[in-house]
Chain A
Amino acid sequence: MSASPMLETPSDHELASAYRAGDERAAAELVRRHAPALGRYLYSSGAVPDEIDDLVQETLFRAFRRLDGWRGEASFRSWVFAIGGNVLRDEFRRRKGRQVLSLEDRDLPDRADPDADLAAAETQEGLRCGIAALPRLQREVFLLRTQQGSGYTEIAAALGTTPGAARVHYHHAVKRLKELVR
């Protein structure tokens, strides 16, 4: 990043502007800032764990290629997550609808109540399957709302819909998923 009088912790906007001006280190900083959350988002959306690194990389690569498309109505993170949704959709299509979720046995911590841990893990995997099976907008609104705490206006800007529609998508998602965690 340039030595210009930037704040000590530059905002995403400042980093994006610096990258547009040719500062490649600004892109690296944005990647470091958002890649972990993006990975969690893609995992929750149903991505195969072994492929999350590649999907994160592809998402951020696409994001920087079309950085001019980010006008700041939504946060950089929400905007990148929306691109991540596209990348995941392409991955689903590439696999021609085959189940992307890995339902392998997960290593469980050695706890006093292994049955409870197993039940919790199964519930989580069931929830992940349920989220992955949601229509795309429902899935993305639900995750942006529950995992990022984004408001409907922010979500609507990121996903190209209206706040009212985002609210409806959220409630449809909740209605479908409630049964999985009862």
Chain B
Amino acid sequence: MSDCERLSDRMPDVAMQRAAWTTDEAAHLASCAECRAEWDLVLAARRLEASAPTVDPTAIAAAVERRLATDRTAGRRNRWFWAGGAAAAAAAAITLAVTRGPEARPEVAPVVAVETDPLVPLPELEGLETAQLDTLLQTLDGPLAGTSAADSASVDEDADAALEQLLATWEG
């Protein structure tokens, strides 16, 4: 660090009378035009500060306190506003859901509760006449329409043999 830089770093403290120039520093200041110009500038900045209009700290403190109080009140009011708004929206949604009635609700598959006798596995058969039940039984006893050969009971022996062969290849 050069002498000029060292002096520059010390200038604020000396200007504020927190320190004083040493003999060497004073000699450098006397011989260095750049440092003297900077020192003059620092002193001028101090004089500028001293020439500033004064403010009334008590009046400003009161004004700041008032603004902070107003700000806090407004903040609380805003919080209540938003909380109230949210609550009102929720209440409106619930009210709407309750008062619109089932006809206005979106269509959903109705859930029908059917009371069933646990001993009757197919309660819909209970309403059929005897003749109707006989007809139904006959259709169930007969071959099912649309079933493939593979599904039918008459799966042939060739198929059985092929399956056994396949299993044998899997088992090695």
Residues of A within 8 A of B (CB): 24, 27-29, 31-33, 35-36, 38-41, 43-44, 49, 52-53, 56-57, 60-61, 64-65, 120, 123-124, 127-128, 131, 142-143, 145-147, 149-150, 171, 174, 177-178, 180-182
User: Complex Cα distance A31/B65, Å?
Assistant: 9
Give the docked Cα–Cα distance between A178 and B4 (Å). 15
Q: Is A24 touching B49 in the complex (CB atoms < 8 A)?
A: no
Is B68 within 8 A of A39, CB to CB?
no
Interface size class of chain B, counting residues whose CB lies under 8 Å from the partner chain:
35 or more
Give chain B nearest CB distance to A152 CB in angstroms: 9
**Which of B50, B55, B60, B65 has the most chain A CB atoms closer than 10 A to its own CB?**
B60
Residue of B40, B46, B51 with most partner-chain A CB within 10 A: B51
A91 to chain B, nearest CB (A): 16
Given the known interface contacts A27-B64, A57-B63, the answer about A40 and B52 at a Cβ–Cβ threshold of 8 Å is: yes
Can you list 22 A-B contacts (CB < 8 A)? A24-B68, A27-B68, A31-B57, A39-B55, A40-B52, A43-B53, A44-B48, A49-B53, A52-B53, A52-B55, A53-B56, A56-B55, A56-B60, A61-B68, A64-B64, A131-B48, A143-B45, A146-B15, A146-B42, A149-B16, A174-B38, A182-B37
A148 → B minimal CB distance (Å): 8
Q: Are B68 and A65 in contact (CB under 8 A)?
A: yes
Residues of B within 8 A of A (CB): 8, 11-13, 15-16, 18, 34, 37-38, 40-42, 44-65, 67-69, 71
Q: Does the CB pair B41–A178 fall under 8 Å?
A: yes
Total A-B pairs, Cβ < 8 A: 118
- The DSSP consensus for interface residues of chain A is helix
Given A31-B61, A31-B65, A43-B52, output 19 extra A-B contacts at Cβ < 8 Å: A24-B69, A28-B65, A31-B60, A32-B58, A40-B49, A40-B50, A56-B60, A57-B60, A57-B63, A57-B64, A65-B71, A120-B47, A124-B44, A124-B51, A127-B41, A146-B41, A146-B46, A147-B48, A149-B16
A44 vs B47: C-alpha distance when bound (angstroms): 10
Contact of A36 among B16, B55, B71 (CB under 8 A): B55
Q: Are A44 and B52 in contact (CB under 8 A)?
A: yes
- The interface residues of chain A lying within 8 Å CB-to-CB of B15 are 146, 149
What separation, in Å, do the CA atoms of A38 and B38 have in the docked complex?
24
List, in ascending order, chain B residues with CB within 8 A of A150's CB.
12
B-chain residues with CB within 8 Å of residue A44 when the two chains form the complex = 45, 48-49, 52
